[in-house]
Chains A and B, each alone.
Chain A
Amino acid sequence: MNTHKTLRAFTKLAIGTALAMGLAGATLSAAQTKTDVSLGIVLEPPHLDPTAGAAAAIDEVTYANVFEGLTRIGPNGEVLPALAKSWEISEDGLTYTFRLQDDVRFHDGTDFNAEDVKFSLDRARSADSTNAQKPLFEAIESVEVVAPDTVQVVLSRPVGGFLFNLGWGDAVIVAPESADSNKTQPVGTGPFAFDRWVKGQEISLKRFEDYWGEPAALEAAQFKIIADPNAAFAAMMSGDVDAFPNFPAPETLMQFETDPRFTVSVGSTEGETILAMNNANGPLANALVRQAISHAINKQALIEGAMFGRGTPIGSHFAPHHPAYTDLTGTYPFDPDKAKELLAEAGFADGFTATLKLPPPQYARRGGELIRSDLQKVGIELEIVPLEWAQWLTEVFREKNYDFTIVSHTEPMDIGIYARDDYYFNYDNPEFKELISALNAETDKEKRYDLMRQAQEMITADAVNVFLFQLGKTGVWNAELEGLWENAPIQANDITKVHWKN
C-alpha cells in the first residue's frame, strides 16, 4: 500500500497537466449517483436484428431490453408472458389464442397491435426469410388477427415447446415500418431504446419513457466490446466497466473473489459441451468404440484443467437445472482399463488414429489437448486440427468431414438435434426419432418430462457423443449492482431489473 502511495505521488508529479485535467473530470463524475451501467461483452454483434442472425451477441444486447416477443424466457428458464398477457390453447394443442398487452408503443412512436404480430411471424416463416432459427416456426400453419388485441395461431401439428419457442430472441415482434432497418436502427417495444453504436467500441441504450410495463431503473446502459481477456481484467479492475456478465478470463477470478468491491457469480448455461463423434466414420461407427472412448476420458480433470473448475459434469445432452434432467454421469466412469477391454472387443486392440478438429473457444482448444492425452493412453492417436469458426461450420458442421470435434451446444432444450436427418453427428436411430416426434406432439408436462428422460437415456446408451460438461457462466460485477442474471437459460443480458443499491 505504501509503495503504491509513493509511486502514485511520484507519477502524479511526473505526469503533465493534460492528464491531471482528465483525472479531475473522472473523480467528479464518480461522486454523483450512478443511473447508468456499463457492461462488458466479448463479441461485438454483427448487427442488432435478432430475427436475422444467429450471433449470440445480438441477443446479449437486445433481448428483453430492446425487443420483446409474445412470451419471454425468465432468469431460470421459465416461460413468462410478455407482449401476450395471456393465452388459451385448444384441446388438440393446435390452436393458440393470444391476448395482447394494451397501450404498447414501439420506440418510434407507432402503435403495437395484432397486425404487428401477424407480420412478424409471417415474415419469420416466409420463403425468403433469413431467420436463423426458422425451424421454430415450421409448424405454424396460419396466423390470424381476430381483434386488434387478439391473435390466433394455428399449428399443423402439436408442438410441445411452442410457447418456449416464441420466447426466443429470433421470435421477437417487429413493426413493418422499421423491420428492414432494425439491423442498424433497432426499433422494438422494450423498456430500453437504441441510442447509438460506435462500431468496435460500444452500443448505448437509453430508457424508453413510454414503456407499457414497469419502467427500467437505469436511465442508460452501455455495452462495451472487450474481446481480450487481459483488457477485460483491466477494465473491470479499473472500474471502466461495472459488470462483465460472461467474464472471459477465468484464471483471474480468484482476484475478484477476494476483493470486496466485486461480486463473482457462477451460474449455469444451456451449453452442453460435447466431444462430438462422427457416428458414420470408421471405428466410430461401432458403439463399443464410442463407449470405450466415453470411459477413457477423465471428465473431472477436464473441467479442472480446461475450465478452472467452472463446469458441471453431465451424462447426456441435457441441462442439469432442467426439471426433467436425469443424472447419467455414472454411466461411463473414468476407467482406462475398461476402455481398452471394450476396444479389444470391438477389434481395435491396437487402437487407431483419427483427427480432432477444434473450433476457437478456449474450452475446445484447452480441452482438446487433455482429451488427446487421455485417448493416447488407450491407444488412440489424435491429430489436432485447429479451425476458425467459419472453417468449422463448413468442414465439420456442413460437410461432416471430421472424426472428433469439441463444441458447446448453447441452444436451450436442443436434445431434438439427435433426431435430425443428416445432422453432423451422423447418428441415425429410428427409435430415437420416434421418441422425439412423440415428445413434440405431447403437451402434457409430466408426460413430456418422461419422454425427455427416455431420450437422455437412449443417446447415452448409444454413446453418441462424449458428454463432457455443462458450460458454466461466470460473471463479475460491481458489488453495488443488483439484478443481473446468474444463469443463462438463453444468451441474454436482461438489464430491465438491474439497479444500484441505495
Chain B
Amino acid sequence: MIVPVPVRDPQADGLPMFSYGVLRLLGLTLTLLAASIVVFVVLEVLPGDPAQVMLGINAQPDTLEALRAELGLNAPALTRYLEWVTGMFRGDFGISYTYDVPVAELLAERAWVSLPLAVIALTLSTALAFPIGIMAARFRGRALDTGIMGLTQIGIAIPNFWFAILLVYVFAIVLRLVPSGGFPGWDAGFFTALQALILPAIALALPQAAILARVMRSALIDVMSEDYIRTARAKGLSARVTLWRHGVRNALIPVLTILGLQFSFLIAGTVIIENVFYLPGLGRLIFQAITQRDLMTVKSGVMVLVALVVAITFIVDLAYAAVDPRLRRGR
C-alpha cells in the first residue's frame, strides 16, 4: 500500500530555491489538468444513467428525459468538460445531482470531519512512531528492539477496520465511554466533537505509526553507519548528541516522504474507517456519490482530493529543503 517514493534531487539542476518552487508549481498545475481529463473521461464511459438511478424502475421515458434536461446531461461532452473546468477556476464546483446543493458546500462540510481526523491521526502516529523508531534504532538487536519490531509487525498486519470494530466493541458497547460512531458536528462543542473522533483516529493512527516507526528505525540505522557519524563521535560528541544532532536529522528525509504519503492516505483513503464509525467524511461522500451516479459530486470531489494530495507533495518537497540546508542554499 505504501510505496517509498525515491526522493527527488532538485539540486541536480543547480536551480535556486525560488525557481525550483516555481517549476514544481507549474508541474503540479499540469498534473491537475491531466487529472481533470482522466476523471472526466472515466465518468463519461462509466455505465449507468444518473436520471434512471434517481427515478427508479417505474419512471417513464419522458420523465427521464425531463430530468436529464434539468440536470444538463444532454449537452455535448466537450461543452460540459469546459463548463466544469472553468467553473472550478471560478470556485464553482457544480450542483450535486442527488442532493441538489452546491458540491462546494458538501465538500466543505465533509472536510470539517476529514481534515481534523487526518491531522489528529497523523499527530498521534508521529508522536508514537518517532520515539519508538528512535529507541529501536538506539537499542538495535537487543530485546527492546526485537520486542518493538514484533509489535510493529502486528500493527502492520492487523487490518484497521477490524481493529476499529474491536475498539467500538470495547469502548462503546462494553465500557460506554464514547459513542459508537457518528459525528455531532463542531457546533455541538469542541470536546463532544473531539470525543467522536478519538476512536477513528486511533484506529487510523496505529497501523500508520507501525509503518512509520519501522521506516524511522531503518533510516536511522542506515545513517548511523555513515562516515560523518564516526567523525562526529571522533571529535568528542557523546552518543546521545550525535544521535539527535546528526542521526535523526539526516534520517528525516525518507520519514518525510512516508509522512506525506500517509497524510494523503488519511485524507482520501479512509472510507472503510468512516463506514465503521459512520462518520460523514470525504471518502464516504465520494463513495456514496459513485453508487448513486452523482457524477458532479464525484468529479469535483475527486479533483479536490487530487489537489490536496498534490499540495501535500509540494509541501513535502519544500520540507526536504527545510531539512537539508544544501537545498535551501540552492547549491
Interface residues of A (CB under 8 A from B): 4, 7-8, 11-12, 15, 18-19, 21-23, 25-26, 44, 46-47, 53-55, 127-135, 183-184, 198-202, 224-228, 230-231, 234-235, 237-240, 360, 388-391, 393-395, 397-398, 411
* Complex Cα–Cα for A224 and B278 (A): 9
Is there a chain A Cβ closer than 8 Å to B210's Cβ?
A: no
Encode contact with A along B283-294: 1 for CB under 8 Å, 0 otherwise: 011001001111
Judging by beta carbons under 8 Å apart, are A54 and B57 in contact?
Answer: yes
Report the minimum CB–CB distance from B322 to chain A (whole Å). 33
Residues in B whose Cβ lies below 8 Å from that of A224: 182, 278
A and B contact pairs by CB, cutoff 8 A, 11 listed: A19-B198, A22-B177, A44-B288, A54-B55, A130-B70, A134-B59, A198-B109, A199-B109, A224-B182, A228-B276, A390-B52
| Contact between A231 and B181, CB atoms less than 8 A apart | yes
Residue of B nearest to A132 (CB): B55
Closest 8 CB pairs of A and B: A54-B56, A390-B48, A200-B280, A46-B98, A234-B180, A132-B55, A238-B180, A228-B275
Whether B154 is near chain A, meaning CB under 8 Å from some CB there, is: no
B106 within 8 A of A: yes
- Please give, as numbers and ranges, the residues of chain B lying within 8 Å of A198 by CB-CB distance: 109, 183, 185, 280
Judge whether B63 and A19 touch: CB under 8 Å.
no
Bound together, the chains give a CA A360 to CA B59 distance in angstroms of 21
A130 touching B67, Cβ below 8 Å:
yes
Question: Within 8 Å CB of A238, what residues of B?
Answer: 168, 172-173, 176, 179-180
Interchain CB contact (< 8 A) of B285 among A15, A200, A237? A200
Say if the beta carbon of B174 comes within 8 Å of chain A: yes
Contact B291 A389 (CB under 8 A): yes
> B171 to chain A: closest CB distance in Å?
8
Query: With contacts A4-B174, A8-B175, A130-B70 known, what are 15 further pairs, Cβ within 8 A?
Result: A7-B170, A11-B170, A11-B171, A18-B194, A23-B176, A53-B55, A132-B54, A135-B60, A199-B106, A234-B181, A238-B176, A240-B180, A389-B291, A394-B47, A394-B52
Q: In chain B, residues 168-209, which have Cβ atoms closer than 8 Å to a Cβ of chain A? A: 168-183, 185, 191-192, 194-195, 198
Please, how many angstroms separate the alpha-carbon atoms of A395 and B192 in the complex? 46
In the assembled complex, how far is the CB of residue B193 from the closest CB belonging to chain A, in whole angstroms?
Answer: 10
When the two chains form their complex, are residues B58 and A231 in contact, meaning their CB atoms are under 8 A apart? no
CB–CB B191/A21 < 8 A: yes
Which residues on the A side are within 8 Å of B169 (C-beta)? 234
Closest partner residue, chain B, to A222 (CB atom)? B182
Instruction: Judge if B99 is at the interface, Cβ distance under 8 Å.
Output: yes
User: Closest CB-CB distance, B45 to chain A, in whole Å?
Assistant: 12
List chain A residues, Cβ under 8 A from B49. 390, 393-394, 398
Name the CB-closest residue of A to B49. Answer: A394
Chain A: which residue is nearest B97 at the CB level? Answer: A46
In the bound complex, CA of A107 to CA of B312 (Å) = 47
Query: Which of A131, A202, A393 has most chain B Cβ within 10 Å?
Result: A393
Q: In the complex, what residues of A have CB within 8 A of residue B181's CB?
A: 226, 231, 234-235, 240
On chain B, the residues within 8 Å of A397 by CB distance are 52, 57
Assembly CA distance A23 to B288 (angstroms): 32
**Given the contacts A54-B55, A135-B58, A200-B285, A184 and B278 also touching, CB distance less than 8 Å:** no
B280 pairs with A393, CB closer than 8 A: no
- Do A184 and B100 have beta carbons less than 8 Å apart? yes
A7, A184, A201, A395: residue with the most chain B Cβ atoms closer than 10 Å: A201
